[in-house]
Amino acid sequence: MKRTKPFVLAAVATVWLCCTGVAKAQPIAWSESNYDSLASGNSPATIAPGTVITAQNWQKYKEFMPVGMQELWAGKFFWKLPANAQIVVGKTTSTPLPRKYQADTEKYSNQVKLIKNPDGGHDIGGYVAGVPFPHPSGPDAGDEIMYNEYYAYIPYVITTYAKLGFSMDRFGNKYVQEVREVNFKVKHLSDPGKPVDIPDTANVFLTQNNVIMEPEQSKYVNSLQIFHDNPADLPESYVFVPSLRRSIRLTTAARCSPLVGSDYTQDDERSMNLQPPIFQARFLGYKKILVGYPEPGYIDTANYYPPLYFPSPNAVIWQVRPVAVLDIRRVPSMSAGYCYGTRMAYIDKQTWQPVWMDLYDSGMHLWKIGPSVYRPMPIPGTDGDVSTGAGGPGDGIYTFWDIQNNHLTLDIQNGGEINQDAGRFDNYTRWGTPSGMDEIMQ
C-alpha cells in the first residue's frame, strides 16, 4: 500500500490496544509555530553530505526535520528512536518528471484555472494532463499545490506484491499479510503510446485494487476504490467477501474507516486520497526537510531500528530537499465527523509527491506521523524516465506511527511493474471494475 502511498499495506489486520490501565502518550497540540520554525526553502542553510545525525546531536538539525520526526527523536512518546539510531545525510539529487508529463505541462497548464465553489473550496477547469499549476502563487497557492499532488504523475497501470510489512502493537504483536495491488489511471495520462483518456472507461479517473493473498484465513478479501473524473465526487468503494462470494458496495461516509484494518484510512491511500474541491489547503511556505531515498537493504527488516522499525542507514539515506508545507482541512460545511482536524502534508517541490505526513485528530492533537520513501521506478518505453509515488503501489517504504494508540503499520514494497511490464495485470475490466472482483477466487 503507498502510504503514498503512497497505498501503504492495504492488507493488514490491526491489533488495537485493549488492555485497561495501559498508559497512552499525551499528544502535542497543533501549533503553526512548529512549522514556521522549519528551515526556509529560500535559505542557503543545509546539512553537509556525510553528516551523521544521532541522539546526541539531532537538535542541531531539527529545523530540517518534519515535526513528527522531531517527536520521534525527542522521545516523549512510546514510539521513539533508540539511543543507537542514526540518520546519514547524502547529496541532494534531482528526480526529473517524465518527459511526456513535462511536455503536457507546457502544452496545457496555461489553460488551467481554479473555480471557487459554494463550499469554500476550489473546482478545477481546463485541466488535460501534466502539472496543472507548475508555478503556484497567490492566495490560492495551497489549493493549487493540492491539485498538483492530486494530478502528480501516475502511470496507466502499476502493480506490486506487498510481501514485506506488518501491523504491530506496543507489545510487539504483529499481524503480517501479503497483498497484490493493481492500480489503473485511465484519464489525464502522460504515457508514451497511450491516449490522454482511455476509451470506454466512462467517468472513471483512477482505480485502486488490493487483494489479500496471505494468510489463508484472509485470502481473497479484496478492496476496490474507483475515483471519478470529477474530483469533487467521492469515490466508490467495494469489498469482496469470500464467504459471500460476492462484492459489496460500501458507504461513501467510510472515508475514516481503517483501510483493511491498518493504521491508514481510505483517505490515506496514496498518502493523500483527497478530493481537492472539498478541502482547503493553506500554504505555509517552502521548507527544507530531510527526505528519505531507499538503499538496496531497504527490503530487509533487519535493517530497521526496533521497536518502531525506523530505517537505518542500510535501508535509507536522507537528503535535504525543498517541500511545500500544506495545512489541509475539510471545508467547514463537511468537517463535522471527519477523522482529521488537519493533515499537515510535506509535498516534494520537484515531483509534487507527499514525502511525510503529520496527522492531527479532530481535537487538533498529533495522532499519526510517518514518511513515504519512494524508490524511483523506471518507466518502460522511455529513455531513463522514472516514476515516484505511482498513486499507490510503488517500490519504497510507507509507515504510519500512531502515537496516541501506540500502534504502527509498516509496508515495504519491491518488484513493482509498470505499463507493458505489468503482464496479465494489464486488464482494466478484470482489475479496475466491480465485476472483475467476482473472478478473484477463480
Residue 86 near residue 61, CB atoms below 8 Å: no
Using the predicted structure, report yes or no on whether residue 77 has a pLDDT greater than 50: yes
Using the predicted structure, report yes or no on whether residue 164 has a pLDDT greater than 80: no
**Which tens digit of pLDDT belongs to each residue from 283-329?**
999 999 999 999 999 999 999 999 999 999 999 999 999 999 999 99
Using the predicted structure, report yes or no on whether residue 429 has a pLDDT greater than 70: yes
Using the predicted structure, report yes or no on whether residue 432 has a pLDDT greater than 70: yes
Model confidence at 404, in pLDDT bands (50, 70, 90)?
Answer: very high
CA gap 437, 424 in Å, rounded: 15
Question: In this predicted structure, what is the pLDDT of residue 259?
Answer: 66
Question: In this predicted structure, what is the pLDDT of residue 261?
Answer: 65
Kindly list the distances between the CA atom of residue 36 and the CA atoms of 71, 200, 284, 387, in Å, as whole numbers in the listed order. 16, 47, 8, 31
Model confidence at 385, in pLDDT bands (50, 70, 90)?
Answer: very high
Nearest to 114 by CA among 144, 75, 84, 70: 144
**Which tens digit of pLDDT belongs to each residue from 185-222?**
999 999 999 999 999 999 999 999 988 888 888 888 88
Nearest to 212 by CA among 9, 397, 391: 9
pTM for this structure? 0.91
CA gap 230, 209 in Å, rounded: 20
CA gap 68, 55 in Å, rounded: 15
Among 172-181, 228-237, 356-365, the range with the most confident prediction by mean pLDDT is 356-365
Q: Backbone phi, then psi, for 217, in 5-degree steps?
A: -70, -15
Superfamily of domain 32-437: Lipoprotein localisation LolA/LolB/LppX (2.50.20.10)
